[in-house]
Amino acid sequence: MRARDVMITEFDKISPDASLFDAAAIMRESRKGTGEGGIPAVVVLDGGRLVGIVSLTDMLKAILPPYLLQDTHLAHVTWDGLLESQCKRVQDKKVRDIMTRDVVTVKEDAVLAEAAEHFLSRHIHSIPVLRGDSVVGVLYLYDLAKRVFAYCQVGAS
């Protein structure tokens, strides 16, 4: 089985000049390739060229104050009011300011084991799939897992 057999071909994309507010709306509202929830990342294209990916992790890093992420002793701090003020502070930031630029990709004819290795070793949930230099789909961890689980149930009784 290859990446092209599991990838989502109708995927969400965003401009690097879009706001984090716009990226969050796409992630929250999209149903492409993720079952019931939103998507874990949006491909960032500039003139049709892949320039990055913005993930939920990128969004959380931009929203949450760094000191909360670095000091485990601050885990008891209440988030009341903090998240709202932090979200307002960053909502007009541009996607280009927080996106991951070094994007992990696979070719459409890559075997799924290659994609699985990237998912597991790099702790990511979305991989753009390329034909040449063009993004032709996105492989989501959720969709790969669905396919694996389907095979696991074939012989079960």
Tokens describing residue 42: 């949006």
Please provide the CATH number assigned to the domain covering 3-154. Answer: 3.10.580.10
87 three-class SS: helix
Most confidently predicted of 10-19, 61-70, 77-86, 142-151: 10-19
Q: Looking at the predicted structure, is the pLDDT value of residue 155 above 70?
A: no
Distance separating alpha carbons of residues 132 and 39, to the nearest angstrom: 25
Q: What is the DSSP letter of 133?
A: T
Distance separating alpha carbons of residues 37 and 31, to the nearest angstrom: 6
Locate tokens 């998912």: which residue?
119
Distance separating alpha carbons of residues 66 and 63, to the nearest angstrom: 9
Q: Looking at the predicted structure, is the pLDDT value of residue 99 above 70?
A: yes
